[in-house]
Amino acid sequence: MSQRDRTSCSEARSALWLDCVNVATFRGEGIMAAYLIAEHKIADPAAYEEYRIKALAAVDRFGGKLLLRARSVEALAGSWQPDRLVVLEFADMASLKAMHDSPDYQALIGIRNVAAANVLLA
C-alpha cells in the first residue's frame, strides 16, 4: 500500500470511524476481494450471540475476516438505521458464496432468523 493510500485510509478512519480496505484491491492489482454486508435488527439477543459466534467461526474457516461490526450507525443521507451493521471481507466471491452455502452456515440460518430480521448483501 502506498503512502498516499495509507494517508487516505487514515483520513477515512478519522472521518468515518471505519477501517479502510486496501485500495489496491480496487485498482485491478490481483483478484478483487468480495464483501458481505449484513444488517441485523435484533429481536432475541441470546440467540443473536449464539449465531454471531458460530457464524464468525464459519467465516474464519473460509478465509473471511470481520472488517466492521457497528452497533450505532449514523445515516449521513437517507434514513437507514440498522441496529447492527457487519462487513466481512473474503478473498473473492467464490469464497464468500462457499461460506454462505456451506452446511455449517446453512445450519445457522434458523438461529439467525429467530435472532433478528436480516438483510445480507454481497
Domain boundaries, the chain: 1-30, 31-121
Residue 1 has which C-alpha cell? 500500500
Rounded Cα gap, residues 105 and 52, in angstroms? 11
In our burial notation (b when 16+ CB lie closer than 10 A, e otherwise), range 82-110 reads bbbbbbbbbbeeebbebbbeeeebeebee
Nearest to 62 by CA among 29, 97, 21: 97
List pLDDT tens digits, range 78-110. 988 888 999 999 999 999 999 999 999 999 999
- List the CATH code of the domain at 31-121: 3.30.70.100
Cβ burial of 7 (10 Å; 0-12, 13-18, 19+) is exposed
- Comparison of pLDDT for 34 and 4, the residue scoring more: 34
List pLDDT tens digits, range 32-66. 899 999 999 999 999 999 999 999 999 999 999 99
Rounded Cα gap, residues 117 and 47, in angstroms? 12
